[in-house]
Amino acid sequence: MQPNNTPKSATARDLVIKLVPISIGILLLVGIIMETVTRRQLESDARLHIDSAAERLASTLEARFTILEESLVGIANNEIIVNSLIDTSSRANLALFFNSLRAPVKGDSYITLTDYKGRLLATTSPYKSGFSASWWLKKVLNGERVKIFTSTRMIIAIPVFYNSLPEGILVAEFPMDTYKNLLLVNNYTDDYSVLLDETVIQSNNIDFLIPGTTVSQKILQNETDFLSGWLLANSNIESAPELSVVVGHSKDHAFAPLKNIRNALIISGFLLATVLVLAIFLMLKTFTKPLAALSAEVRNIKGGEDLKRKITIAGPDEFQSLATAFNDMNSALGASLVEKDAAEAANKAKSEFLSSMSHELRTPLNAILGFTQILNTDPTAPLNDDQKESLHQIERGGEHLLGLINDILDLSKIEAGQLHVSMEAVDPAPVLSHALAITRELGKNKNISVIFDESSSSGCVINVDRTRFQQVLLNILSNAVKYNSDNGTVTITLNPNVDGFVRFSVSDSGKGIAPELQDKLFVPFNRLGAEGGEIEGTGIGLSITRRLVEMMDGRMGFESTVGVGSTFWVEFKQDKISSLPKHIPTETTDQHLPATECIKVLYIEDNPANLMLMKKIVSRIENTQLISAHTAELGISLAQSEMPNIILMDINLPGMSGIEAMKIIQQSETLADIPVIAVSANAIPSDIARTMKAGFKKYLTKPFDVQAAVDIIKKYS
Amino acid sequence: MNKLKTNFFAKIANIFIASCTLMLAGQSWASDSALQPIRIGLDADMSSASAESGEAIHRGMIVAIDEINENGGINGHKLEIVVRDHRGNPARGIDNINEFAADKTIVAVMGGLHTPVAMAELKTIHENGLIYLVPWAAGTMVVDNGFTPNNVFRVSVRDQFAGRFLTKMAANNNYKKLGLLLEQTGWGRSNEKAISEAAKQIGVEIAGVEWISWGAKSAEAQINSLAKKGADVIMLVANANEGAVVLEGVAEITKADRLPIISHWGITGGRFTQLVGDNLNKVNLSFLQTYSFISPARPAREKDFFARYKKLFPKTTKEDQILSPVGTAHAYDLVHLLSNAIKNAESLEIAKIRSALENIKQYDGLVKIYNPPFTNERHDALDESDFTLAKFLSDGSIVPIAK
């Protein structure tokens, strides 16, 4: 977010956009759940209600039929009726008797007396017909009461008993118009219809069902669209199987309360949204403003002196305490930053010191060692033995000094965390054999035999930094030689598979290390009393070695017995790969120089001793001529005039540095193709890498080996 | 070809059989070779309130037929009975007659106790040309029915006579004011007429006339009404069920005010004594009878009869156990009279049998010596001289009251 944007409006819009739909969504969900639950409840309530209403209605109608039937049974039991079965002349008055009975139902109704075979004996019906052909006759003659409901009339037939035997039949007929009245229950609160089989014959609400409508079982089960707006319950009338009642409850009516809920939800939804929006704005006003102010103030603190500034304490309590806490933190941070700066400055000074010390020491050392070599190998003026011995002492002193410088540089790099290892799968055999060769060379003076079973190293692969691994081995081995007694032995054993590690043990037959001294073995610059002895050493070799081993995830240790000797061991992780293709070193093909042409070597160097050394070296190469300049500017102009085959360039030059000069050379059309070799006392790897980036072909570190310098010149010129 | 021949002969055979059937149907006196049984239909209440009367009639017939068939039948034709139950219901009765009419082997129908049923059946009987033998129904109009020729022959009480007899008995017992309680049927009305006429002649007063319907559960109102009107005797004309209702009604009255009952014989056709139970002893009840196996009119004849009855109905060991004596005796005599008539007529033609019945000179019957039983003018075999009053013993047996 851009600090200059108005955070308030953007945040508010975001919040509103995010929160309001979510809240409304939740409300909607709650609404849907509420509605579903309520709908179910309402439906089950309504169903319960209409189910019992249907049963009540059915029993009401049942009761009506029963009352009607019982009144007819009463008539059938009347002795006048019984007697009429026997006595023909009594029948004349029967119609009159029937008519005198109070009609049980509003509307037309007819009473007929028949004999035991349904033949007419007396009737009030205008049709004057008997029922001899009726299917129910047999039932009545078996003593049953029969009720028949058809689309035209209702018939109730009651047997007339004499001496407990059915001897005649009393038949009451109610035309449809009449028996419909019987099915109408006044003041019935629910909508209902009475079905004759599947046809509606009575309905208390024609909005529900119109008489004449067919209502199938499927409709009753609400399986069709017809009446889908109604909850339905039906019940059979037990004594009138042709009839059933259907009670309907309009869903609109049943679910009316849902509308209220829905409305309430909509209103509360709007209210909620409004409240939410207001709350968001209010909150933003309360919190965002001071927060924005706070953040602006914090943003302005960029460090240094700013850390001393206090930010304004304002706004709600929480923000005030936040500001206070921030101020506290700021001042603490300010104090610690000062300390950090001081430490960093000290460290930097140390590094610079080390770096410049290394550089400054290497430069003269280059001359010392270089000229020693020149003298020692000058074919024109061979030295006598005394001279050679003196020169050898100079060379040893110089090399010891170089070793010391290198070790100190390594240690300082390790401490500064600048030393990096690049792990790879390494076959130890070639490295070991190289180290052994050096060790044997070292041991020649003291007649020390180096024992190693070369075959034991085959087939194991370790995970290490190749160069540092070699350094470690050399260190241990050279110590074993250095601290051994004359004619002693150095034994190397290799144990693969020591719980995933490969162990390299180096035993000597020296005088051993006293137990009380063993603790200080790895302390830098502590030579355990060997300082005054004849054995050269800096006292930091083992501590560097151990650090290197640890950096490569390895382990290091030793056992020592005074008078017997010491065994130092290192362990490195075994690589998953069990073997590596044999490392065949690519042979550097020497470029043979054309013998006829004279090669021009330009050396840009401000140190006269080194310049002189180089002159001596170059003079030893046939057909080679050295030209030199003591500044970069001079060197470049010399190069342009002389067009040398190769340029050797010191980096640390007065005025223009070697790197700047390199840039100019590279940009120059005429000089760009000339190989340029850096020759510097700066041995710090990061500096070397930076220098190489500038376009140098090679980097020659002072003090350099004379032969190495010769080889490079031969190669690139 | 063969098939055609077979069919032809089959047709011939069919035609022959059909002609034989037709000859029988024409009620011609059958050839000796086809000794078809002669059937008498019994149409009576076999299962309802007066089922005992039907059973008694049936048994009387069985005894007579057993006797006849044992003696070779009627010219070799065995007699058989076809029983139909009318339950006292005229509608059923008419249907039964129609069924009998459809069976051409039935020449005569024995009726039952109920005058209303008999009255309702008369038309059908005459239309179908059946002889109607009446062993019990007493309605005057059953015989005096207006049909010519009249196919109805009765060995039973005639209400006209019964009314006079019962009124006489009342008078003899010094009852002055008769309270008539009659069933609401043709029978009841037949007796109202008879008693009213007799009362006039004899000179006793009719205090009141009340009616009781079939199936009535109470007669309290009628009894109270008659008592109110000063009746000193109830002249009861009803069958067993309604008679029992009346007797129970009377029994409920305090002993001093209980009216005696002189009853027609309808009450003896059902389970009257069982229905009334102990109430029987509370009321002075006497009723008309024509015959008693306990004091038979013709002891020798009765002895033979009872021997055969016992043989046929072994559960009956004593004469007083015989159900409805009058129905039994009358039916027995009627079957013999019919048998004699058919023998005499030598034909199954109705006209001939009717004529033969009218022309039996004398018959030595169980009830009496009929001399002659019927004439052309008179189809009632019994008269007032054959009547007696009787009463129930508590075990339900009927004993005559000494005259």
Confidence of residue A533 (pLDDT cuts 50, 70, 90): low
- Annotation: CATH topology of A78-180: Beta-Lactamase (3.30.450)
Q: How far is A118 from chain B (nearest CA, A)?
A: 10
Amino acid A535: pLDDT: 67
CATH number at residue B181: 3.40.50.2300
Contact criterion met (CB < 8 Å) for A83 and B90: no
Contact criterion met (CB < 8 Å) for B88 and A161: no
Q: How far is A80 from chain B (nearest CA, A)?
A: 7
Residue A596: other Cβ atoms inside 10 A: 6
- Which of B91, B215, B241 minimises the CB distance to A116? B91
Q: Is residue B207 assigned to a domain?
A: yes
Amino acid B22: pLDDT: 42
Report the chain A residue with the minimal C-alpha distance to residue B217: A79
Q: Domain boundaries in chain A? A: 78-180, 301-420, 428-573, 599-716
CA-CA distance, A368 to B284, in Å (whole number)? 181
Count CA within 13 A, CB hemisphere, residue B289. Answer: 29
- Annotation: CATH topology of A599-716: Rossmann fold (3.40.50)
Contact criterion met (CB < 8 Å) for A163 and B89: no
**Phi, psi for A135 (deg, rounded to 5):** -70, -25
Residue matched to tokens 């229905």 = B275
> Which of A254, A249, A237 has its CA nearest to residue A192?
A249
- Which of A116, A121, A162 minimises the CB distance to B214? A162
Q: How far is B183 from chain A (nearest CA, A)?
A: 9
In CATH, what number does A301-420 get? 1.10.287
A117: CB partners within 8 A, 6+ apart: A132, A137, B91, B95
Q: Is residue B179 assigned to a domain?
A: yes
Amino acid A59: pLDDT: 92
> Which of B304, B303, B322 has its CA nearest to residue B313?
B322
**Average per-residue pLDDT for chain B:** 91
Residue B32 burial by Cβ neighbours in a 10 Å radius (0-12, 13-18, 19+): exposed
The answer to whether B339 and B38 are in contact (CB under 8 A) is: no
Q: How far is A64 from chain B (nearest CA, A)?
A: 28
Angle between helices B115-127 and B90-102 (to 10 degrees): 30
Report the chain A residue with the minimal C-alpha distance to residue B188: A87
Asked if the model's pLDDT at residue A182 lies above 50, the reply is yes
CA-CA distance, A502 to B179, in Å (whole number)? 149
Most confident of A304-308, A624-628, B47-51: B47-51
CB contact burial A599-610 (16+ within 10 A = b; e otherwise): bbbbbbbbbeeb
- Identify all chain B residues contacting A87, using CB atoms and an 8 Å cutoff: 116, 184-186, 214
Name which residue leads in pLDDT, B174 or A26: B174
Does the beta carbon of A162 lie under 8 angstroms from any beta carbon of chain B?
yes
CA angle (A539 as vertex; A538, A544 as ends), nearest 5: 100
Mean pLDDT within A615-636: 87
**Three-state secondary structure string covering B62-104:** HHHHHHHHHCCCECCECEEEEEEECCCCHHHHHHHHHHHHHCC
CA-CA distance, A19 to A9, in Å (whole number)? 15
- Identify all chain B residues contacting A119, using CB atoms and an 8 Å cutoff: 91
Contact criterion met (CB < 8 Å) for B215 and A82: yes
The answer to whether B181 and B266 are in contact (CB under 8 A) is: no
- Identify all chain A residues contacting B48, using CB atoms and an 8 Å cutoff: 162-163, 165
Does the beta carbon of A93 lie under 8 angstroms from any beta carbon of chain B?
no
Q: How many domains does chain B have?
A: 2
Q: Is residue B116 assigned to a domain?
A: yes
Q: Which domain holds residue B104?
A: 38-157+297-384
> Which of A160, A146, A51 has its CA nearest to residue A116?
A160
Task: Identify whether residues B153 and B164 lie together within a single domain.
Answer: no
DSSP A525: T
Q: Is residue B30 assigned to a domain?
A: no
The answer to whether A11 and A288 are in contact (CB under 8 A) is: yes
CA-CA distance, A384 to A392, in Å (whole number)? 12
Does the beta carbon of A166 lie under 8 angstroms from any beta carbon of chain B?
no
Task: Identify whether residues B182 and B264 lie together within a single domain.
Answer: yes
CA-CA distance, B185 to B187, in Å (whole number)? 5
- CA-to-CA separations, B102 to A442, B130, B312, in angstroms, rounded: 158, 11, 30
Name which residue leads in pLDDT, A67 or A28: A67
CA-CA distance, B227 to A594, in Å (whole number)? 182
Q: How far is A203 from chain B (nearest CA, A)?
A: 43
> Which of B252, B229, B220, B242 has its CA nearest to residue B178?
B229
Structure ipTM: 0.86
Amino acid A457: pLDDT: 67
Q: How far is B376 from chain A (nearest CA, A)?
A: 30
CA-CA distance, B331 to B342, in Å (whole number)? 16
Does the beta carbon of A170 lie under 8 angstroms from any beta carbon of chain B?
no
Amino acid A578: pLDDT: 62
The answer to whether A231 and A50 are in contact (CB under 8 A) is: yes
Residue A286: other Cβ atoms inside 10 A: 13
Task: Identify whether residues B210 and B237 lie together within a single domain.
Answer: yes
Contact criterion met (CB < 8 Å) for B213 and A163: no
Task: Identify whether residues B198 and B311 lie together within a single domain.
Answer: no
Amino acid B97: pLDDT: 97
- Which of B91, B119, B213 minimises the CB distance to A79? B213
CB contact burial A564-577 (16+ within 10 A = b; e otherwise): ebbbbbbbbbbbee
Amino acid A592: pLDDT: 46
Confidence of residue B7 (pLDDT cuts 50, 70, 90): low
Per-residue pLDDT tens digits for A325-357: 888 887 887 788 888 888 888 877 777 777 777
Q: Is residue B401 assigned to a domain?
A: no
Contact criterion met (CB < 8 Å) for A83 and B87: no
The answer to whether A457 and A494 are in contact (CB under 8 A) is: yes
Q: What share of chain A is helix, strand, coil (3-state, %, to 5)?
A: 50, 20, 30
Per-residue pLDDT tens digits for A554-571: 989 898 888 888 999 999
Does the beta carbon of A117 lie under 8 angstroms from any beta carbon of chain B?
yes
Helix (H) / strand (E) containing B123:
helix B115-127
Radius of gyration of chain B, Cα coordinates, nearest whole angstrom: 23
Name which residue leads in pLDDT, A187 or B349: B349
- Identify all chain A residues contacting B186, using CB atoms and an 8 Å cutoff: 87-89
Amino acid A582: pLDDT: 53
Contact criterion met (CB < 8 Å) for B214 and A80: no
Tokens of A230: 């109604």
Confidence of residue A672 (pLDDT cuts 50, 70, 90): confident
Task: Identify whether residues B62 and B179 lie together within a single domain.
Answer: no
Q: Which CATH homologous superfamily contains domain A428-573?
A: Histidine kinase-like ATPase, C-terminal domain (3.30.565.10)
Per-residue pLDDT tens digits for B292-347: 999 999 999 999 999 999 999 999 999 999 999 999 999 999 999 999 999 999 99
Contact criterion met (CB < 8 Å) for A88 and B214: no
Task: Identify whether residues B171 and B284 lie together within a single domain.
Answer: yes
CA-CA distance, A114 to A146, in Å (whole number)? 14
Name which residue leads in pLDDT, A21 or B33: A21
CA-CA distance, B130 to B109, in Å (whole number)? 7
Contact criterion met (CB < 8 Å) for B92 and A80: no
Asked if the model's pLDDT at residue A623 lies above 60, the reply is yes
**Phi, psi for A304 (deg, rounded to 5):** 60, -125
The answer to whether A666 and A658 are in contact (CB under 8 A) is: no
Asked if the model's pLDDT at residue A231 lies above 70, the reply is yes
Contact criterion met (CB < 8 Å) for B214 and A161: no
Task: Return residues 268-297 of A near B (CB < 8 Å).
Answer: none
Task: Identify whether residues B221 and B149 lie together within a single domain.
Answer: no
> Which of B76, B140, B131 has its CA nearest to residue B109?
B131
- CA-to-CA separations, B178 to A593, B158, B189, B196, B347, in angstroms, rounded: 185, 20, 16, 10, 50
- Identify all chain B residues contacting A167, using CB atoms and an 8 Å cutoff: 87, 89, 91-92
Mutation target for A interface from B46, B52, B214: give the one with most A CBs within 10 A. Answer: B214
Most confident of A24-33, A598-607, B117-126: B117-126
CA-CA distance, A29 to A8, in Å (whole number)? 31
Amino acid A443: pLDDT: 86
Q: Is residue B69 assigned to a domain?
A: yes
Task: Identify whether residues B319 and B364 lie together within a single domain.
Answer: yes
Task: Identify whether residues B180 and B129 lie together within a single domain.
Answer: no
Chain B residues touching chain A at CB-CB below 8 Å: 47-49, 87-92, 95, 114, 116-117, 119-120, 184-186, 189, 213-217, 241
Asked if the model's pLDDT at residue B207 lies above 50, the reply is yes
Tokens of B72: 């070779």
Confidence of residue A303 (pLDDT cuts 50, 70, 90): low
Q: Lowest mean pLDDT: which of A47-51, A193-197, A243-247, A404-408?
A: A404-408
Contact criterion met (CB < 8 Å) for A86 and B92: no
Taken in order B293, B296, B297, B299, the sign of the CA dihedral is positive
Task: Identify whether residues B313 and B374 lie together within a single domain.
Answer: yes
Confidence of residue A206 (pLDDT cuts 50, 70, 90): confident
Residue matched to tokens 């011609």 = B28
Of the residues B260, B289, B318, the one at which a domain ends: B289
Helix (H) / strand (E) containing B249:
helix B240-251
Amino acid A685: pLDDT: 76
Q: Is residue B372 assigned to a domain?
A: yes
Task: Return residues 665-694 of A near B (CB < 8 Å).
Answer: none
- Which of A80, A121, A165 minimises the CB distance to B48? A165
Contact criterion met (CB < 8 Å) for A83 and B89: no
Amino acid A593: pLDDT: 45
> Which of B247, B315, B327 has its CA nearest to residue B45?
B327
Report the chain A residue with the minimal C-alpha distance to residue B213: A83
Per-residue pLDDT tens digits for A418-457: 777 888 888 888 888 888 888 888 888 888 888 887 777 6
The answer to whether A108 and A180 are in contact (CB under 8 A) is: no
Report the chain A residue with the minimal C-alpha distance to residue B183: A83
Amino acid B26: pLDDT: 42
